[in-house]
Amino acid sequence: MYVEFKAINCFGRSVLITPLAITGVYPDSKCVAVSLTKEQVKNSPDTDTDRPISRRIENELFVYYDFPVYWGGAGLWGAHSTPAGALAEHTTDEEPTASSDSGNESKLRSCNEVTGYHVHAVDGEVGKVRDFWFEYETWRLRYLQIELTKSEKSRQILVSTKSVDQVIWAASSVQMNHSTEKFRFAPVYSPGSTITRDLEHDICNHFELHRYWERPPEL
């Protein structure tokens, strides 16, 4: 995962920054603090954020910023579940781990691209992707915000990423492993409201999913 910033004084150029560089997120002031200098951001590798990001491009970013790569381990961040854990063991003389995948293979897509994708249950289309919710401590994508456009009344719900079967890029569609009936009676989410633990309980109970916060940290 990366956060895309529009860098000022850089001719409006978009810059990709790994969560490893983010030291704080302040929703009230709409501010994100990073451990980088203006010069580092200004001279960062050019990246076309309108296109899928390949592992080769990721390697260039990690080498430039001197951060540990997240692939090559059992965790979300190497051998760790959080960026903080990965940074704690990182030394400046480490080299990015070579990937066995094709360096030019497209790995990552922008949330902007996936917004609007059609969502399909096992027995038919149910709606469209409207937004994404991630967990700040781990930067793990937790929920897709989906608008149910095929029901009697349009409404929005949150669906765990654990419910995603596959994403078909060529068809701009997200395939889910639940029935249309399951989506129809899912807990309603009010766009813009805070996601409470009670709502997460309801979502997990409805879709019969494990509560991620009640088990050891995910790798």
pLDDT in tens, 12-71: 678 899 999 999 999 889 899 999 998 998 889 888 888 889 999 999 999 999 999 998
Q: How far apart are CA 161 and CA 124, in angstroms?
A: 19
Walk me through the domains of the chain, giving residue ranges and CATH numbers: 3-108 (no CATH), 111-214 (3.90.50.10)
Q: Which amino acid is at 27?
A: P
Q: Considering the chain, what percentage of its residues have pLDDT values greater than 70?
A: 88
Q: Which pairing describes strands 173-176 and 14-17: parallel, antiparallel, or unpaired?
A: unpaired
Residue 27: what pLDDT?
Answer: 87
Return the biggest CA–CA distance within the chain.
59
- Tell which wins on pLDDT, 153 or 111: 111
CA angle 177, 182, 184 (to 5 degrees): 130
Burial level of 56, CB count in 10 A (0-12/13-18/19+)? middle
- Cβ–Cβ under 8 Å, residues 63 and 89: no
| DSSP H/E element including 205 | helix 197-207
- pTM recorded for the entire structure: 0.86
Of 36, 40, 30, 35, the closest CA to residue 10 belongs to 40
